[in-house]
């Protein structure tokens, strides 16, 4: 009994789909190889899986060379089949752009003072007017630039003067504050009245002007008495020996 005809539709089962893809991919690569060997044909096969994995086969040494050959054969025929009118219009546009470019180059050389021999007197006058207008515009731009810089510098100068003025005012306030504190301190101390009061407070005491530090008066009197004793009795005390 023969196999039934397989209906071509997407396989819903993921595992069966992967198994079928692997089998048919290997079979397709095998058929491409057999075709290239049996028929001496240049075969290139490219397969991408649903996950983006690449499988390829090329009978030649390089896949890029085969793709370049395919591109030349596919798109070269399209270029050859273009109508002649389109090519003629493109060529005329090219000639027009080329002439304009050469004219601009000649004008630039003339503005730089080169190749002025072929010009007529009217052309030279027109060139002179163009140069004068360009020079006037350049000078005006330069003057405006210098004026802008001058205005910016004046603004900076004004800001610096304001900052200097504010600093001067603050410095004067601090100086006057310190002077006020100094004068107030002198008035609170009162040097002259205090000196007079100290003279009235300290009074002279009645005492022996001889400075005796650590000297006992009773011991001194005993020593004086003892010193006079030998003069009377002719006896020297033991502490003098």
Dihedral sign from CA coordinates of 29, 30, 33, 39: negative
What pLDDT, on the 0 to 100 scale, is given for residue 80?
Answer: 52
In this structure, are strands 54-58 and 44-48 parallel, antiparallel, or unpaired? antiparallel
Higher pLDDT, 78 or 231: 78
Per the CB < 8 A criterion, the answer to whether 60 and 42 are in contact is yes
Higher pLDDT, 219 or 29: 29
Query: If you search the block for the tokens 């009377």, which residue do you land on?
Result: 232
Up-side HSE of residue 5: CA atoms within 13 Å toward CB?
Answer: 2
What pLDDT, on the 0 to 100 scale, is given for residue 236?
Answer: 56
pLDDT at position 57 over 50:
yes
Quick one: how many helices (H) and strands (E) in the chain? 6, 2
Average pLDDT (186-203) is 49
Q: Which long-range contacts (CB under 8 A, 24 or more apart) does 202-206 make?
A: none
pLDDT at position 192 over 50:
no
Average pLDDT (15-28) is 91
Mean pLDDT of the chain: 77
pLDDT at position 152 over 90:
yes
User: Between the ranges 7-11, 80-84, 101-105, 153-157, where is the mean pLDDT highest?
Assistant: 153-157
Output phi, psi for 47, to 5 deg: -135, 130
CA-based Rg of the chain, rounded to a whole angstrom?
62
What pLDDT, on the 0 to 100 scale, is given for residue 239?
Answer: 57
- Exposed (0-12), middle (13-18) or buried (19+): which is 186, by Cβ within 10 Å? exposed
pLDDT at position 14 over 70:
yes
Confidence band (pLDDT; 50, 70, 90) for 219?
Answer: very low
Higher pLDDT, 231 or 240: 240
What pLDDT, on the 0 to 100 scale, is given for residue 23?
Answer: 93
Confidence band (pLDDT; 50, 70, 90) for 148?
Answer: very high
Per the CB < 8 A criterion, the answer to whether 229 and 237 are in contact is yes
What's the token pair of residue 215? 């000297």
């Amino acid at each position: 009994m023969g196999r039934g005809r397989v209906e071509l539709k997407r396989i819903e089962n993921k595992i069966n789909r992967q198994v079928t893809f692997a089998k048919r991919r290997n079979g397709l690569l095998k058929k491409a190889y057999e075709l290239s060997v049996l028929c001496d044909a240049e075969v290139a096969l490219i397969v991408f899986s649903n996950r983006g994995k690449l499988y390829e086969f090329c009978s030649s040494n390089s896949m890029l060379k085969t793709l370049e050959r395919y591109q030349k054969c596919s798109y070269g025929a399209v270029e050859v089949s273009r109508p002649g009118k389109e090519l003629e219009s493109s060529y005329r546009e090219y000639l027009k752009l080329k002439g304009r470019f050469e004219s601009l180059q000649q004008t630039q050389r003339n503005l730089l003072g080169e190749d002025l021999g072929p010009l007529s007197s009217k052309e030279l006058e027109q060139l002179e007017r163009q140069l004068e207008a360009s020079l006037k515009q350049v000078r005006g731009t330069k003057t405006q630039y210098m004026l802008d810089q001058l205005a910016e510098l004046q603004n900076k100068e004004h800001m610096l003067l304001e900052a200097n003025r504010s600093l001067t005012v603050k410095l004067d306030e601090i100086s006057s504050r310190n002077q006020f504190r100094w004068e107030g301190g002198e008035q609170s101390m009162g040097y002259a009245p205090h000196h007079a009061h100290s003279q009235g407070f300290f009074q002279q005491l009645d005492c022996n002007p001889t400075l005796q530090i650590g000297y006992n008066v009773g011991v001194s009197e005993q020593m004086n008495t003892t010193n006079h004793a030998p003069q009377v009795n002719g006896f020297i005390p033991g502490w003098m020996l």
